[in-house]
Amino acid sequence: MYNPTDLKNYTEDDEPSVKKCYHVEFPQHRSKKRRLPCGQPLTQKITTPKGRLLRPLSIYPVGSIKQQLYMMYQRPDFEKMLRHSRRRNIPEGIFSDIYEGNIWRTFSIDPSNPSPFFDKTMLDTHIGLAINVDWFQPFQYTTHSTGAIYGVLCNLPRESRFKPENILTLGIIPGPHEPKQGQINNILAPIVDELLQFAEGVDLPATYQHPQGRKIYLALILSANDIPAARKICGHAGPGVKCHRCPKRATYDQITKRNHYGNFRNAHEWFQPVPIGRYREAAKQWLNYGTQAKRDKHFLATGVRWSELYRLAYFDPVSFMVVDPMHCLFLGVGKWIVKKLLLAHDKLTKQQCTTIDERMKNVRVPSDIGRIPSKVAQGEEGFSKFTADQWRIFFQVYAIPCMWDMLDNGDKAIIFHFVRACDLLVNRIVRRDDLDEAHNRLLTMARLIEEHYGPALISPNIHLSLHIKQCCLDYGPPYAYWCYSFERMNGLLGK
């Protein structure tokens, strides 16, 4: 990263000059050519009435965490809202928010000091941060992918946490293309620099309740993203290689020509604690390799590469990277069941989709649930362009009453277990018994899919859904951390 002001004022021989990138990716490479600086121009010369000026080719706006927090701390009730969880008295085994999860109860910012970071007496100065990275299309008639990195203050009440005025904008990633896996570290670096400062404490000159100023500590404790973004920022291989939360590796199927996560014979091994030290060591080894070929070989073997987030000594690349239920269950498993199982295997015909549409029109639902537009029969196959929320509503409200008589017994069992699991998980308050039942339902569903359709149809999302229970034990109900609110922020920025 380069300072735009320095680039605009860069001169050679007292003349404005285009500065070139001097980054060397492999300084120890055996080939002299690979040890040369990047050399990419960073600015372009433009002619204006005031003469020739230098304009940066690409700008990466980074939002100062300190400045945004300072503005929030000037609000009259902000510090009181940060302390609100002091008054909570939730019985054991009940999860209503992030505060009942293992991470909030046990997190320590200093690995050598087990003292809880979120002490009840310090909740207005010790802040837990959740981040989300996502890309969206800001323009209607052209392909241009712009990224955004958001931050959410977990100390705030759930009803206030995701309001736009309470969300930090940590960075806007310029397009038109998404950065590649290794390039994302350049995007994360300035954010991690500031997080390191907050780990030691940052002085705010004044707050509403403390005009003399306060020292604020902030720690990144949660990363909620879709699968591609999560793997990029945390340094994990894609789902085509392995699961980031357990030892399970993908299996390549010669017939379908794709990777899958079938075979449940050793499923009990998937839910054991993962040694975090092994991930950190593998990430450091990847960084130290002097050639891209060695890095690629190491990445394929371990499924781990370096991420700037590893500079945070407290960062857990497994537990902190949750499986987002919005993407996993609704855009993942639910869509997969309908598209790849029922429609692809002619279990539902186009005429039956039309019948489902007609039946759905006769179902009266409360106004706060929302209706699904009549598009089940639209598109070449059907179920055209459903959003995550429309998939959720379809399975929770319409699936069983509107298409039950069209399914065979095997598909009925798959749909029933999936719907029941979703019903349990989407509640704002869940019990430990609910999580156990939801997990067992999802596991049974996965076994049934393998039994009726073969192991090649066990998708990465089906496997990842089996880790949602542990995510809830760590962070409370999915309602506390799922990505719906971040998607709404994308809509606001896009406009």
Residues 6 or more apart whose Cβ sits within 8 Å of residue 307: 184, 185, 188, 233, 234, 235, 283, 317
Q: Could you give the CA distance from residue 412 to residue 407 in angstroms, rounded to a whole number? A: 6
Q: Could you give the CA distance from residue 77 to residue 165 in angstroms, rounded to a whole number? A: 14
Structure tokens at 195: 């997080």
Residues 6 or more apart whose Cβ sits within 8 Å of residue 119: 126
**pLDDT (0 to 100) of residue 266:** 83
Long-range own/partner contacts, residues 27-32 (CB < 8 A, 24 or more apart): 28/290, 29/290, 29/291, 30/290, 30/291
**pLDDT (0 to 100) of residue 383:** 85
pTM: 0.91
Task: Assess whether 317 and 329 both reside in one domain.
Answer: no
Q: How far is CA 107 from CA 104, 220, 316, 322, in A?
A: 6, 11, 10, 16
> Is residue 82 included in any domain, yes or no?
yes
Task: Assess whether 128 and 39 both reside in one domain.
Answer: no
> Is residue 282 included in any domain, yes or no?
no
Q: Could you give the CA distance from residue 131 to residue 224 in angstroms, rounded to a whole number? A: 6
- Hey, is 210 helix, strand or coil? coil
Task: Assess whether 79 and 179 both reside in one domain.
Answer: yes
Task: Assess whether 334 and 457 both reside in one domain.
Answer: yes
Task: Assess whether 52 and 158 both reside in one domain.
Answer: no
Number of H helices, E strands in the chain: 19, 13
Our count of domains for the chain comes to 3
- Hey, is 184 helix, strand or coil? helix
Up-side HSE of residue 431: CA atoms within 13 Å toward CB?
Answer: 4
Task: Assess whether 71 and 199 both reside in one domain.
Answer: yes
Would you call 423 exposed, middle or buried from its count of C-beta atoms within 10 A (0-12, 13-18, 19+)? middle
Q: 407: which DSSP letter?
A: S
Neighbours of 381 (CB within 10 A): 15
Element (H, E) at 254: none
| Inter-residue contact 133 to 149 (CB < 8 Å) | yes
Q: Could you give the CA distance from residue 212 to residue 421 in angstroms, rounded to a whole number? A: 51
Structure tokens at 58: 């690409």
Would you call 109 exposed, middle or buried from its count of C-beta atoms within 10 A (0-12, 13-18, 19+)? buried
- Partner residues linked to 16 by β-bridges: 11
Q: Could you give the CA distance from residue 1 to residue 291 in angstroms, rounded to a whole number? A: 22
| Inter-residue contact 392 to 370 (CB < 8 Å) | no
| Inter-residue contact 85 to 123 (CB < 8 Å) | yes
Q: How far is CA 36 from CA 31, 32, 187, in A?
A: 9, 7, 22
Task: Assess whether 157 and 223 both reside in one domain.
Answer: yes
Q: Could you give the CA distance from residue 458 to residue 446 in angstroms, rounded to a whole number? A: 7
For strands 167-173 and 94-95, give the pairing. unpaired
Range of the domain at 383: 325-482
Which of the listed residues 56, 80, 95 is the one where a domain comes to its end?
56
Would you call 322 exposed, middle or buried from its count of C-beta atoms within 10 A (0-12, 13-18, 19+)? buried
Task: Assess whether 44 and 125 both reside in one domain.
Answer: no
Task: Assess whether 133 and 212 both reside in one domain.
Answer: yes
> Is residue 202 included in any domain, yes or no?
yes
Structure tokens at 274: 């993962």
> Is residue 255 included in any domain, yes or no?
no
Element (H, E) at 489: helix 484-494
Task: Assess whether 462 and 395 both reside in one domain.
Answer: yes
List, as one string, the DSSP characters of 132-168. Answer: EEEEE---SSS---EEEEEEEETTS-HHHHTSGGGEE
Structure tokens at 364: 């009266």
> Is residue 12 included in any domain, yes or no?
yes
> Is residue 375 included in any domain, yes or no?
yes
> Is residue 265 included in any domain, yes or no?
no
Q: Could you give the CA distance from residue 55 to residue 58 in angstroms, rounded to a whole number? A: 9
Query: Measured over all CA atoms, what is the biggest interatomic distance in the chain, rounded to whole angstroms?
Result: 81
Task: Assess whether 79 and 15 both reside in one domain.
Answer: no
Q: Could you give the CA distance from residue 334 to residue 25 in angstroms, rounded to a whole number? A: 42
Task: Assess whether 471 and 490 both reside in one domain.
Answer: no
| Inter-residue contact 334 to 395 (CB < 8 Å) | yes
Would you call 275 exposed, middle or buried from its count of C-beta atoms within 10 A (0-12, 13-18, 19+)? exposed
φ, ψ of residue 100 in degrees (nearest 5): -90, -5
**pLDDT (0 to 100) of residue 268:** 83
Task: Please report, in tens digits, the pLDDT of each residue of the chain (495 residues total).
Answer: 778 888 888 888 877 888 888 888 888 788 888 888 888 888 888 888 877 788 888 888 899 999 999 999 999 999 999 999 988 888 999 999 999 999 999 999 988 888 999 999 999 999 999 999 988 887 777 888 888 999 999 999 999 999 999 999 999 988 888 887 778 899 999 999 999 999 999 999 999 999 999 999 999 999 998 888 888 899 999 888 899 898 899 999 888 888 999 999 888 888 887 888 999 999 999 999 988 899 999 999 999 999 999 999 999 999 999 999 889 999 999 999 999 999 999 999 989 999 999 999 888 888 777 667 677 888 777 788 888 889 999 999 999 999 999 999 999 999 999 999 999 999 999 999 999 999 999 999 999 999 999 999 999 999 999 999 999 999 999 988 887 777 777 777 766
> Is residue 263 included in any domain, yes or no?
no
